Amino acid sequence: MATTHLHGNPVPASGELPAKGSKATDFHLTDKDLADFAGKRKALNIFPSIDTPTCAQSVRTFNARASEKPDTVALCISADLPFAHAYGAGIAGGPLAGLCARAVVVLDKDNPVQPPELVNEIAHEPNYDAALAAL
């Protein structure tokens, strides 16, 4: 089980992010699934709640920067939305249990996973440069 942090305190995640080079497994969002983005590079921006400044900023930044790259989409995923949950990013304990940890999983056109990031501190923004460079 992976661990992230909230204000410096360890918070366990419910699983592990997919390994680099592994084939992304299908997932279902509210009204789409992975197959709906076939042929596109995908940045999965997974976060706890859009109602926080860091989460809102990560959505704005990923949407703006991914749109600058050809054949690329940013998928912003949070348990705030019904049925929106992907991979092992769920928070398994602490005050945010049941929400998603802050994580980024980048998938190329045929869905091989690029190096994922479980952000070590939930209150911090992800490494946009590393994620977008992997696209």
Q: What is the DSSP string of 70-98?
A: TTEEEEEE-TTSTT---TT-BB-SSTTTT
**Kind plus residue range of the DSSP H or E element containing 107:** strand 103-107
Instruction: Classify residue 10 by burial, with Cβ atoms within 10 Å: 0-12, 13-18, 19+.
Output: exposed
* Amino acid found at 54: T
* Amino acid found at 114: Q
Q: Is 100 designated active site?
A: no
Q: What phi, psi does 62 have (nearest 5°)?
A: -65, -45
Among residues 13, 17, 24, 55, the one annotated as catalytic is 55
CA nearest 43: which of 62, 25, 28?
Answer: 62
The residues annotated as belonging to the active site are 55
